[in-house]
Amino acid sequence: MRDLFFVLLCLLAVVSCVPLVVLDFVRHGAREPIGDHSPVLPGKRWPAPGQLTELGMRQHLSLGKSRRELYSELLPAEYDPEVVYVRSTDFNRTIMSALRYMKGMYPNVSRHGRTMYYDAAEGKTVTLVSGDEMREFEVHTTPMEKDQLLILESCPYARKVIHGFYSTDEYHAIVHRFDDVWEAIAKQSSIGDLHQGINAFAVADYLLCAAAEGILPPHISREHIGRLEEFLGLMLRGMVTSDSRLSAIWTAALSQEILTVLDGAATRRSKVRYALYAAHDITLTVILAALRDRVNATIDWDRTPGFASSVLLELNHGPGEEELGVRVLYQGRLIHSEPYKKFREKLEAAANEQKNITEACLV
């Protein structure tokens, strides 16, 4: 009841709803397919596999602009990297998404920035790109082999579980749910058996990339694309939830980061008031899976988070003088809210379940 009271107060503007801090976890924008599946679209060539397209850049430029409007009272008038923190996975498509997002948020910035990463081995932040290269915003990245937050390329146990998922009964059961789609794809191409290993996943990804750019073979309908979004959503959720140890590792890593940012704002120890995390569909899937039992809104759990999808967390003043509240929004829609004390207890429990991520990742 108190949770509902907080939400109503915020909606009615009875209390100030300018957040103390906002965390925005976003998927990169539309990109070119990673794999070459030319039999699906004969004659189509992608010059930069896996890279952000012009559409993907526009998506994040628009997203940053909308955040500027939404949080105009929170964000500083002039860009300040100590207040607006940006972190990305070490992929060109996510780094470019973050830069376009920030350009939408601060369109008039023009200065020498730095792309940075935290070197866990050295325990210090290192500048990756020199000031001689025109970078307008500071983007923090961690080399893939060390990133334990946004993508678990560094985790041997995660790689083992994810690659092993393709040989499980759960994987084959998911694939067979979409036999009508595979038949439609195979009918007009020489793509081969889509029940084998990673093939179905890769072909689905290829077609979703093409659909985002408005390119579809005549025998593939928008209904088929919707079904492929469901297929990838089920696949990703299966990967991150079918193994309790992997789920705990990833949830712990994200919980530790969220706790650090929220506590820093709640106690005023940190200057950060806005944190952007440019990541991947699987990152958002982990967050949504962790929240699923607590979400008080109807969302389509089966669909993969699309390009430029977002999970926003806000720390707000609550109805009591000392009380704080958390709101979670997915695709701009409120899906969860509760007092920060309760939210923090759950985050802390998840963070403590796997305190040493490096050790937990050992095979």
DSSP annotation string for 231-253: HHHHHHHHHHHSSHHHHHHHHHH
Phi-psi map region of 212: left, alpha, beta (phi>0 left; psi -120 to 50 alpha):
alpha
User: Alpha-carbon torsion 127, 132, 134, 137, what sign?
Assistant: positive
CB 67 within 8 A of CB 60: no
Distance, CA of 151 to CA of 89 (rounded, Å): 7
Dist CA 29 CA 60 (whole Å): 6
Domain ranges of the chain: 2-156+243-360
User: What percentage of residues in the chain have a pLDDT greater than 90?
Assistant: 60
Q: What is the pLDDT of residues 65-99, one digit of tens each?
A: 999 999 999 999 999 999 999 999 999 999 999 99
Q: What is the pTM of this model?
A: 0.89
Cα–Cα distance, 297 to 101 (Å, whole number): 27
Judge contact between 93 and 28, C-beta under 8 A. yes
For Cα atoms 156, 160, 163, give the angle at the middle one, nearest 5 degrees. 130
Contacts of 31 (CB under 8 A, 6+ apart): 50, 51, 52, 53, 56, 93, 209, 307
* pLDDT for the residue numbered 145: 83
Asked whether residue 336 carries a pLDDT value surpassing 60, the answer given is yes
Query: When comparing pLDDT for 120 and 330, which is higher?
Result: 330
Query: Is residue 290's pLDDT more than 50?
Result: yes
Please determine, for residue 213, whether its predicted confidence score (pLDDT) is greater than 80. yes
Least confident window among 72-76, 90-94, 127-131, 134-138: 127-131
Residue 345 pLDDT > 60: yes
Find the mean pLDDT for residues 140-161. Answer: 86
Kindly give the residue spans of alpha helices, DSSP state H, lying in 188-268.
199-212, 222-241, 244-266
Which residue type, as a one-letter code, is found at position 140? H
Amino acid letter, 187:
K
Mean pLDDT comparison of 70-84, 153-167, 280-294, 320-334, highest-scoring range:
70-84
Contacts of 111 (CB under 8 A, 6+ apart): 136
Mean pLDDT of 267-279: 96
**pLDDT recorded at residue 144:** 86
Establish how many alpha carbons lie within 13 A of residue 163's alpha carbon, considering only the half-sphere containing its beta carbon: 8
Q: Options 3.20.20.140, 1.10.3470.10, 3.40.50.1240, 1.10.760.10; which CATH number does 2-156+243-360 get?
A: 3.40.50.1240
The conformation of residue 53, written as its DSSP 8-state character, comes to P
> What is residue 258's predicted lDDT score, i.e. its pLDDT?
96
